[in-house]
Chain A
Amino acid sequence: MTAAATLVPRRLPHLPGAVVVAGSLLVAYALIGLLAPAFVGDIRALNLPERLMAPDAAHWFGTDQLGRDVFDRTLYGTRNSLIVGFAVAIATTLIGVTLGIVTCFSTWTDRIAMRLMDGLMAIPGVLLAIAMVAIFGSSLQNVIIAITVPEIPRMVRLVRSVTLTVREQPFIAAAVSIGTPLWRILLRHVLPNVIGAVMVQATYTCASAIISEAVLSFLGAGTPPEIPSWGNMMAEGRQLFQVAPWIIAFPGIFLAVLVLAVNLTGDGLRQAVDPKLSRRMGK
């Protein structure tokens, strides 16, 4: 992997069809997430006489065990998944890039941070996240923190590996030789060469965070139950799966399609940023 290969391309690359579809889907999800509060009915409204109704004209996705409309709740759940996905991706990127670059230019930080990362990577991420949410309490903020912590090592390692190559480039030596201060070298010379690979990884982090949030909520250690998240909805529908499969099916499909769209966008981004790397990584 050379530094030039990770530069953000100046020209817009030719986009394959799958990426266009994925991008359009993402826009649709974003719109649903933004507009859901405006056009869905009351997501908490109980309607016991109409509980466990199969999908029909009145309730497109059916109703759950409390008579709540699954369509409304599924659309509303988009918000939660998008918020968690993006928040985790942004937090992981900020922490990962800072740690990853700094460790390459400071020996003692490197030793401490990388041992810390080795240790974190040795704990299964889902278990660590469940433990953190269970201990610190169930809230949107804690869910985001709990998912971010296990994601950090991967980002740090990636940034570190790219930075180590960039560090050996002649233009860094040139910058050092004319007395450029370290912060300026990091910001103006290293960061731009790392950012391409980081953006790709951030997309995958986002996809993985959306799955993690659903898993946590599904296991009962995630988003507070009063917020309709896809994981919560599926957890509630678990016992009723044989009678009312739609309670699980629709949030599940929405979840899978969103993650697919994010991953495909990541693949497209990777091809645009670094065709050689993308072939080697099989994506």
Chain B
Amino acid sequence: MLWFLVRRILAAVPILIFVAVFIFMLLHLAPGDPAAVAAGPNASPQQVELLRQRMQLDMPLPDQFMRWVANLARFDLGVSIFSNQPVSRLIGQRLEPTLLLAFTAMLVAVSIAIPAGTIAAWKADSWLDRVVMMFAVAGFSTPVFVTAYGLIYVFAIELGWFPVQGYTPLGTSILDCLQGLVLPSLALGFVFAALIARVVRATMLEILAEDYMRTARAKGLATPTIVIVHALKNAGVPTMTVIGIGFAILVGGVVVTETIFNIPGLGRLTTDAILRRDYPVVQGVILAFSAMLIVVNILVDLSYVLFDPRVRG
């Protein structure tokens, strides 16, 4: 078990190194002068040159890279060109809204998808099944921002139940914070729910046809017990797998959702930094997102042990 965890973490290291090299090359081999962009349109050539030296862009590329990696090893992600703040602090400031949004969206998705997928499989080929599946295909096909604007129009503008946009930090008011997160997490959660519901249904269909299901029924167990205790637990592995795969899509959705709802999270930080060519921030944030993706996938692998003892061996 511990060995498995260590092996997975070690396997993540080369992937993170690849991501680091890839992002570094992409940014530094690109056309365009970040110093000129950072200095602004009215800067004199001398000012641009000064800034280039300060940003250490005048050093040879391999030296720049070695320096960046050496700092990275000490968890120093550099300093933002734009705001002059350490990148790690910028990421730290923006972490709360993004993690909360990702978590609540996941919660919405799972609490819609698992019951819906289970019922659809249990009542396979009924009208209930068709309705659930139709919603799943539609949900998966509707881009986050279309769902988001639909929700804003109905629940924020027409009914006025939730704020149109904005974010209240958790520390300021837990209630306001959660109220502001309802629409963003619903919008983001729907897409994800559709993906999970389809997999839950398909897996449950297979499980319900297994011999041990007949045994459970034969010994007189109530149907809810059979479905929830016996079947659902065995659907855990494929469900966790799709949650892991879907997390990458969720990250993309987070970026869009934060823009629509004006939430000051990591996604906004990234798009702003990319558009401003704030290289240290872009490198740091993409690396942080990749690390998150890898951590989620390791957690998913660990969860297999929970659902299927055979994996342990």
Do A and B bind? yes
Interface assignment of A130: CB less than 8 Å from any CB of chain B: yes
A residues within 8 A CB of B293?
Answer: 122, 124
Among the interface residues A125, A135, A242, which one has the most CB atoms of the partner chain B within 10 A?
A135
A218: which of B145, B150, B157 is its contact (CB, 8 Å)? B145
The answer, yes or no, to whether B221 is at the interface (CB within 8 Å) is: no
Say if the beta carbon of B270 comes within 8 Å of chain A.
yes
Q: Does B181 contact A (CB under 8 A)?
A: no
Closest to A218 in B: B145
Contact across chains for A282 and B271 when beta carbons are under 8 A apart:
no
B248 touches A119 (CB 8 A): no
Q: Please determine whether A282 and B31 come into contact, CB atoms closer than 8 angstroms.
A: no
Chain A interface, >50% SS class:
helix
Say yes or no: is A194 at the interface (Cβ < 8 Å to chain B). no
Complex CA gap A255/B275 in Å reads: 25
Partner of B252, one of A126, A131, A132: A126
Residues of chain A lying within 8 A (CB to CB) of residue B256: 126, 215, 218-219
A207 is an interface residue with CB less than 8 A from chain B = yes
Decide yes or no whether B19 CB sits under 8 A from chain A. Answer: yes
Interface check A234, CB cutoff 8 A: yes
Residue tally, chain B, CB below 8 Å to A: 54
A61 to B201, CA, bound (A): 39
Question: Which residues of the partner chain A approach B164 to less than 8 Å between Cβ atoms?
Answer: 242
Q: Mark B194-206, 1 if CB is under 8 A from A, else 0.
A: 0000111111011
B251 at the interface (CB under 8 A from A): yes
Q: Is the CB of B19 within 8 A of A122?
A: yes
Interface-facing stretch out of A49-57, A86-94, A246-254: A246-254
Is the CB–CB distance between A211 and B143 below 8 Å? Answer: yes
Q: When the two chains form their complex, are residues A119 and B143 in contact, meaning their CB atoms are under 8 A apart? A: no
**Which A residues lie within 8 Å of B18 (CB)?**
115-116, 118-119, 122
Interface pair A125/B146, CB less than 8 Å apart: no
A204-220 Cβ-contact flags toward B at 8 Å (1 or 0): 00010001001100111
- A161 to B: closest C-beta gap in Å: 14
| B255 adjacent to chain A (CB < 8 Å) | yes
> Are A256 and B137 interface neighbours, CB within 8 A?
no
Within 8 A of A (CB), among B170-200: 198-200
**Pairwise interchain contact B271-A221, C-beta atoms closer than 8 A:** yes
A245→B15 contact, CB < 8 A:
no
Of B30, B143, B206, which is within 8 A of A280 by CB? Answer: B206
Q: Contact partner of A263 among B19, B137, B149, B152, CB < 8 A?
A: B137
Chain A 188-213 interface mask (CB, 8 Å, partner B; 1/0): 00000000000000000001000100
Q: How far is the CB of B108 from chain A (nearest CB, A)?
A: 19
> How many whole Å from A122's CB to the nearest CB in chain B?
5
Known pairs A241-B152, A263-B137, A282-B198; A124 contacts B143 (CB<8 A): no
| Interface: B153 (CB within 8 A) | yes
Q: Which residues of A contact B14 (CB under 8 A)?
A: 115
Taking A123-B22, A123-B286, A220-B275 as given, write out 13 further A-B residue pairs in contact, using a Cβ cutoff of 8 Å, ordered by the A residue number: A119-B15, A122-B294, A123-B19, A123-B289, A130-B274, A137-B31, A207-B141, A219-B259, A259-B141, A259-B143, A263-B140, A279-B206, A283-B198
25 A-B pairs with CB atoms under 8 Å apart are A122-B19, A123-B286, A123-B290, A124-B251, A124-B255, A124-B286, A124-B290, A127-B270, A127-B274, A135-B27, A136-B31, A234-B145, A234-B149, A238-B260, A241-B153, A242-B164, A249-B149, A253-B146, A256-B146, A259-B142, A264-B137, A279-B206, A281-B198, A282-B200, A283-B202
